[in-house]
Chains A and B, each alone.
Chain A
Amino acid sequence: AQSVTQLDSHVSVSEGTPVLLRCNYSSSYSPSLFWYVQHPNKGLQLLLKYTSAATLVKGINGFEAEFKKSETSFHLTKPSAHMSDAAEYFCVVSEDNAGNMLTFGGGTRLMVKP
């Protein structure tokens, strides 16, 4: 069985400072991992995905995530936060390599202070 734990329900940063959103996963197989972002009243947008290629994955809007198998982690980072980054972020795992059966974490709400 697969599961995802997002370690922080809320993260607050100042504009221009680095962002770190933490995610740990549990999977019986080699998983595919995703980060999605959800702005208020909007659908989920794919930020990036890891599918057993390079362990450092670059996504949209300057975000990147590093897959660390030994730590079963897939933390999301960004060097410099922007006000528009304020949103809910979901770490997602899929065990079937095809990306069908998604299991979502509980979400991390990112707040960006001016």
Chain B
Amino acid sequence: EAEVAQSPRYKITEKSQAVAFWCDPISGHATLYWYRQILGQGPELLVQFQDESVVDDSQLPKDRFSAERLKGVDSTLKIQPAELGDSAMYLCASSTRLAGQETQYFGPGTRLLVL
């Protein structure tokens, strides 16, 4: 069964450093999402792509976060500079539409620890 791939699985960095996370969605899925999940809470949407275009980035802290999906396939989420409060799990999901319904499939996530 096809899965969403993410790397790295774990990342430790110091504050003020730059970090980047990568996501490869399920083949053929046009929609890609990045979520942030703080420990003990549910995931919150950061950004949504439809192919290579951003559909919603209203919750993305644009002063330090950026996301791209240049060829409409894999995607990169970057944080520069990282802050202590960015420590969280970063989840990527992809979806496709069947019979008018979409189901999001999630990757294993990247757990970020900022020291």
Interface residues of A (CB under 8 A from B): 4, 32, 36, 41-46, 49, 51, 90, 92, 97-102, 104-107
Interface residues of B (CB under 8 A from A): 4, 6, 9, 31, 40-45, 48, 56, 91, 93, 95, 97, 100-109, 111
CB within 8 Å for A46 and B43 given contacts A41-B108, A99-B95: no
Interface-central residue, B31, B93, B102, B103, by most chain A CB under 10 Å: B102
Closest Cβ of chain A: how far from B23's Cβ, in Å? 11
CB within 8 Å for A43 and B103 given contacts A90-B42, A106-B41: no
A44 to B107, CA, bound (A): 7
| List of 4 A-B pairs having minimum Cβ-Cβ separation, nearest first | A104-B42, A99-B102, A44-B106, A43-B106
- Decide: B107 and A99 in contact? CB cutoff 8 A: no
- Decide: A107 and B41 in contact? CB cutoff 8 A: yes
- Decide: B42 and A107 in contact? CB cutoff 8 A: yes
Q: Which residue of B4, B44, B104 is within 8 Å of A99 (Cβ)?
A: B104
Q: Given contact pairs A46-B105, A107-B41, A107-B42, enumerate 6 new A-B contacts (beta carbons under 8 Å).
A: A41-B9, A43-B106, A46-B104, A51-B101, A97-B100, A99-B103
